[in-house]
Amino acid sequence: MRVVDFKDAGAPGKRRLADLPDRVVEGDPHHETQVRFTSPDGALLAGTWTSTPGKWVAFTDRDEFCVLLTGHIKLVGEDGTEQEFRAGDSFLIPNGFRGFWHVLEPTTKHFVIRVHEPA
């Protein structure tokens, strides 16, 4: 096994988030994702992600560490609490977070995700 270099770019996977029923609440966000590492059991993923502006229901059953390379986002908890992040910021979304991603400017991030089985 070798160290994963994030400069090694493969072709990104592309997705229009509106294709996932009941997820988008504002805009028409498009995502490009380059998964650069997946553990043998599939529980740990790392890569690079880009999104156009929009707001959607956050994915659950995972811990996600992010480093924003470009852009501006808000994470909005289901209680209405807002946290803003910009290029250069890093943060962890813990398993159990319920709320929304709101991408305000085109954004690129590096991420590490640990997937949990739904409770």
Q: What pLDDT sits at residue 46?
A: 95
Would residue 24 count as lying in a domain? yes
| CATH label of the domain that carries residue 58 | 2.60.120.10
Would residue 4 count as lying in a domain? no
Of residues 7 and 111, more confidence is placed in 111
Question: How many independent structural domains does the chain possess?
Answer: 1
Would residue 2 count as lying in a domain? no
Would residue 8 count as lying in a domain? no
pTM: 0.90
* 3-state class (DSSP) for residue 19: helix
Please report how many Cα atoms fall inside a 13 Å half-sphere around the Cα of residue 74, on the Cβ side: 13
Domain extent for 24: 13-115
